[in-house]
Amino acid sequence: MLVRPQSTLILAGLCAATANAVAQEAGVIPEVIVTAQKTAQPASKTPLALSVLGGDDLRQAGATNAVALTELAPNVQISTDNGKLQVAIRGVVSLDTSEKGDSSTAFNVDGAYIGRTEAQLGAFLDLERIEVLRGPQGTLYGRNATAGAINLITNKPTNKLEGRVDVELGDYNARRLEGVVNIPVNSTLALRAAAVTVSHDTYQNPGPNQVGLADQDDNAGRLHALFTFSPQTSWLLTAERSKSGGNGASVVPLTNFFTGTPIAGGNNLANPQYVDRGAEAQLTAAAQYANIGSHKADVATSLRSEFKTSLGGVADLTYQFARLRAEVDQLNNGTYFGFPMYNYVTGGSTQRTHEVRLNSAGDSALSWVAGVYHFNEDIFRASSYNTVTPGPLIVVPFAPSIESRSKAAFGQLTYRFDKKLRVTFGARTTRDEKSGHDALSGSTTGPGYTAHVESSKSNFRLAADYDVAPAIMVYGSLSTGYKAGGFNDTSGKEYLPENITSVEGGIKGRFLNNKLRLSAAIFHYDYKDMQLTSVVCTGAGTAANCGALTTNASNAKIKGVEVEGSYAVTADDRINFSAATSDGKFQKYHPNDTADWSGQQIDRAPAYNASLGYTHTFALDSGATIAARIGTRLNGAYFLSDSSAAIRYRQPVYRKSDIGVTYTSPSQSYYVQLFARNLENSVTLDSLLPGGFGIGAPRTFGLRAGTQF
């Protein structure tokens, strides 16, 4: 797709004309305040590609973890791999969820970076909003943000006694219970506690299996204590714990979706061709698993501190500290070499982050933010891949210890030339170190590896935004992002950092007397030293080569367009919509000696996706309301690839639609909702492992209810 810079100006003119149209019936789209640039500002005045999802919207959508954001934000693909999050934004993704890997998306809870992907699934409770930032965030968020950032902002304690309880019941024995209470202790201290438990049975058909398959049995809790010493000084302390339990991950066979000739002992299919066998067959688990059971008990415990104060009205000081302890205990089932296997993983990680930040105060032409950041993480894992009879007995053990360190200094200046034009410049310098040692490294006899890598990078952002009308802004930016290099767990062989240079232009506005909120962006990426990861076993005779193999595969070019918005047609009718394209292609790239992927579509980058939702609210004479909603999302085809074996699996175009009907009492003290999700029963490919796929959820339905005081 050809993206032309003048498209932004044309769209600006169209939107300006729309803004002068005749005002419609009452009903407006409320403004949302975000902190995407580390300062509070309206979302419609934030000059970057940004989706904001409110806590009420997330609850009504049944979003119990970050995977649901795939259906709620354009050009975002989120899935799980063995209970670990994989986030792709505009086709930029890291598939290495092992202890040596890092995400390409900065995942933050109340400003605290969450490094381990298994710890990113447990914080979805009592949320004020979620901000999804698309594009490299190399200055304010820094390392490992080449794809973008996801910011979870929780509800903070207030000076009002209040509480809420939400319940959900559904098929597959689904259960969800969330409770929140806010207690103002005195004029200085307020407490807020929240807890949630979520469970459902496996979506897979067990077939001949007699062992546990993937299900969900999670719980989480959070306690905020907010000390407000004065209007200018506060201290927020947070303790949070989440547990991801139930049965461990289980894949379904490749042949549930594809025909082809098994190769590498059954780990892949040669020349795979997609065949729609229907949801019943697609959901059927592998013919045989290791008959040893299955379980998962991942626990994440977080302690956070945020101190804020004003320095004489000249600047505001923020100091954030966070400590996260993540413990893994998993027994997963699958197939390697065409034989039943089990994977047992234990271990833990501890990360600590510090950030000291100064923000300008007052209303002057120059506003700024500056800070320093320090991150350290220590990880130990013990894991093994074990095949069982029938077939050869193979044990592939790992016992890695990983240490990661990162430090950075950053700053961003915005100068307001007049009431309409603002220019922003930001910069960040980062230094990363990672060390690793494994005496086994996939072999019971060693020799293992010892590795150490260092990298440093300075990133920048240059942007300008201009108000073409009081409620309409256009912007353009040139920015860079960087993801640190690393090493592989089977050999210690190093790979280089990856870098992105992004050119982006966009428009944001509120039209028709605030009835229409609209934003659009065009972007172009120059993506260098792209890190590609495959979880591979190269053959039964070389079991020690099993592991997550990362290489600098290719440079890539990615370009696209995104549009999203909301329209209050009347006071009772609301339309939400989005549409996006992404044209991501490998440059010159040969994954092995015989394959040529040059010019082919990169993984997890559908050429298009679009969503449309409509809600009509019926007002009853009693003062109660009934809201009926229907929504659908159309997603283009995308690839899941094993670059080591040069095999590509193509997920065809699919659509998923939802419906819901919600009754809200006259006092708004309680609601009841009936819902159904994925009406088409589309079973989609989420992740690729040797011999099988991780899959998305099938059609589900249920009942939600909640009350508040």
User: DSSP per residue over 272-308, as a string?
Assistant: EEE----HHHHTBPPS---TT--EE-EEEEEEEEEEE
Smallest CA-to-CA distance from 81 within 275, 292, 334, 258 is with 334
What DSSP line would sit under 177-238, residue for residue?
Answer: EEEEEEEE-SSSEEEEEEEEEEEE--SSB-TT--S----EEEEEEEEEEEEEEETTEEEEEE
What pLDDT score was predicted for residue 342?
A: 78
Element (DSSP H or E) covering residue 18? helix 6-19
- Given a contact cutoff of 8 angstroms between Cβ atoms, the answer to whether 109 and 128 are in contact is no
Cis-peptide, bond into residue 447, ω within 30° of zero: yes
| Separation of alpha carbons 369 and 315, rounded Å | 9
Question: Dihedral angle at the C-alpha atoms of 51, 52, 58, 63, nearest 10 degrees?
Answer: 40
Residues 161-202: tens digit of each pLDDT: 999 999 999 999 999 999 999 999 999 999 999 999 999 999
Tell me if 319 is assigned to some domain: yes
What is the number of domains present in the chain?
1
Answer whether residue 458 shows pLDDT above 50.
Answer: yes
The stretch 49-58 carries a mean pLDDT of: 85
Token duo for residue 576: 């939400």
% of the chain exceeding 70 in pLDDT: 89
Q: Is 80 exceeded by the pLDDT of residue 434?
A: yes
pLDDT at 18: 35
- Categorize the per-residue pLDDT at 320 as very low, low, confident or very high, splitting at 50, 70 and 90: very high
Q: Specify the residue for token string 């020690």.
A: 544
Least confident among 54-58, 636-640, 644-648: 54-58
391 within a domain of the structure (yes/no) = yes
Farthest-apart Cα atoms in the chain, separation: 78
- Does a structural domain hold residue 694? yes
pLDDT of residue 463: 96
Q: Which single residue is written with the structure tokens 């049995």?
A: 217
User: Which range among 18-27, 107-116, 490-499 has the greatest average pLDDT?
Assistant: 107-116
* Tokens 């490992």 -> residue: 144
Q: Please check the confidence at residue 283 and state whether its pLDDT lies above 50.
A: yes
Contact at 8 Å (CB) between 85 and 103?
Answer: yes
Asked if residues 514 and 17 have their Cβ atoms less than 8 Å apart, the reply is no
CATH number at residue 236: 2.40.170.20
Averaged pLDDT for residues 327-348: 78
125, 222 Cβ separation under 8 angstroms: yes
Distance CA 278, CA 222 (A): 41
| C-alpha closest to that of 473 among 34, 16, 73, 36 | 16
Cα separation, 196 vs 136, whole angstroms: 33
DSSP label of 627: E
Q: Which helix (H) or strand (E) holds 56?
A: helix 55-60
| Cα distance between residue 659 and residue 678, in whole Å | 9
Range with top average pLDDT, 292-301, 318-327, 395-404: 318-327
Indicate if the pLDDT at residue 358 is higher than 90: yes
| Distance (Å, whole) CA 570 – CA 572 | 5
User: pLDDT band at residue 12, thresholds of 50, 70 and 90?
Assistant: very low
> Residue 14: which pLDDT band, with cuts at 50, 70 and 90?
very low
Q: How many CA atoms lie within 13 A of 4 on its CB side?
A: 5
Taking the C-alpha atoms of residue 55 and residue 424, their distance in angstroms, rounded to an integer, is 30
Higher pLDDT, 214 or 319: 319
pTM beyond 0.75: yes
**Average pLDDT, integer, range 394-409:** 89
**In this structure, is residue 545 part of a structural domain?**
yes
Neighbours of 411 (CB within 10 A): 18
Rounded to whole angstroms, the Cα distance separating 135 from 92 reads 9
Measure the CA–CA gap between 46 and 521, rounded to whole angstroms. 12
**pLDDT value of position 417:** 93
Average pLDDT of the residues in 386-406: 80
For residue 669, the Cα-to-chain-centroid distance in whole angstroms is 32
CA distance 540 to 341: 13
Is position 516 within any domain? Answer: yes
Of residues 426 and 2, more confidently modeled: 426
Contacts from 259-265 at CB under 8 Å and sequence distance 24+?
262/338, 263/645, 263/647, 264/337, 264/537, 264/538, 264/539, 264/645, 264/690, 265/336, 265/337, 265/338, 265/339, 265/537, 265/539, 265/540
Instruction: Identify the three-state secondary structure at position 331.
Output: strand
Which sign, positive or negative, has the C-alpha torsion 317, 416, 31, 579?
Answer: negative
CA 293 and chain centroid, separation: 30
Q: State how far the Cα of 48 lies from the Cα of 508, in Å rounded to an integer.
A: 9
Q: Are 679 and 241 in contact (CB under 8 A)?
A: no
- Encode pLDDT of 591-613 as tens digits: 888 889 999 999 999 999 999 99
> For 601, which DSSP code?
B
pLDDT tops 50 at residue 137: yes
The pLDDT-based confidence of 234 (bands split at 50, 70, 90) is: very high
pLDDT of residue 10: 33
Cβ neighbourhood burial of 486 (10 Å; 0-12, 13-18, 19+): buried
Residue-level pLDDT at 36 = 86
Q: How confident is the model at residue 704 (pLDDT cuts 50, 70, 90)?
A: very high
Interatomic CA distance for residues 371 and 385, integer angstroms: 44
Which residue range is the domain that position 586 belongs to? 6-708
Report whether pLDDT(82) > 50.
yes
According to DSSP, the β-strands at 449-469 and 421-438 are: antiparallel
- Using the predicted structure, report yes or no on whether residue 215 has a pLDDT greater than 50: yes
How far is CA 140 from each of CA 43, 53, 179, 508, rounded to the nearest angstrom?
17, 21, 34, 21
Average pLDDT over residues 41-52: 90
Task: Report the Cα–Cα distance between both ends of the chain, in Å, rounded.
Answer: 52
Residue 651: inside a domain: yes
**Whole-number average pLDDT of the chain:** 87
Cα–Cα distance measured from residue 511 to residue 233, given in angstroms and rounded to the nearest whole number: 38
Amino acid in position 677: R
Residue 591 is predicted with a pLDDT of 85
Q: Which of 511, 570, 505 is nearest to 16 (CA)?
A: 511
| Rounded Cα distance, 216 and 202, in Å | 7
Q: Is residue 1 part of a domain?
A: no
Give mean pLDDT, residues 56-66. 74
Q: Is residue 500 included in any domain, yes or no?
A: yes
Check: CB of residue 526 under 8 Å from CB of residue 553.
no
- Is-cis flag, bond preceding 390, omega within 30? yes
Cβ 611 vs Cβ 578: under 8 Å: yes
pLDDT of residue 6: 36
